[in-house]
Amino acid sequence: MQTETALDRAKGEILCHYDAFYGEDYDQATALMDAVVTAAQSGSQGALDSARSEFHLHYRALYGDDYTHLTGLLDDLVAAAA
């Protein structure tokens, strides 16, 4: 039996948010989350800022300007990746 990690839960929360509000667009979201995780694990604040910005740009292009909940979910993802 595989144990769900904090990182798995954080990713799941973002995908759940996408699905609940915007339909299923998991491929791009998953790639962008992976980039955020990689940047968080690299320890480079510049890389992390860039990866988060890419996620926000994608999100805004598809879904509009309400970043409040997404920002919290990305914060959880970064914390879980650290």
pLDDT, tens digit (0-9, with 9 covering 90-100), for 19-28? 766 666 677 7
**Mean local confidence (pLDDT), 1-30:** 75
Domain that holds residue 16: 6-81
Model pLDDT, residue 39:
94
* Residue 1 counted as domain residue: no
Q: Which of 62, 71, 56 is nearest to 13 (CA)?
A: 71
Confirm whether pTM is higher than 0.75. Answer: no
Burial class (CB in 10 A: 0-12, 13-18, 19+), 50: middle
Q: pLDDT tens-digit profile of 23-59?
A: 666 777 888 889 999 999 999 999 999 998 888 887 7
Q: Is residue 26 situated within a structural domain? A: yes
Residue 12 lies in a domain: yes
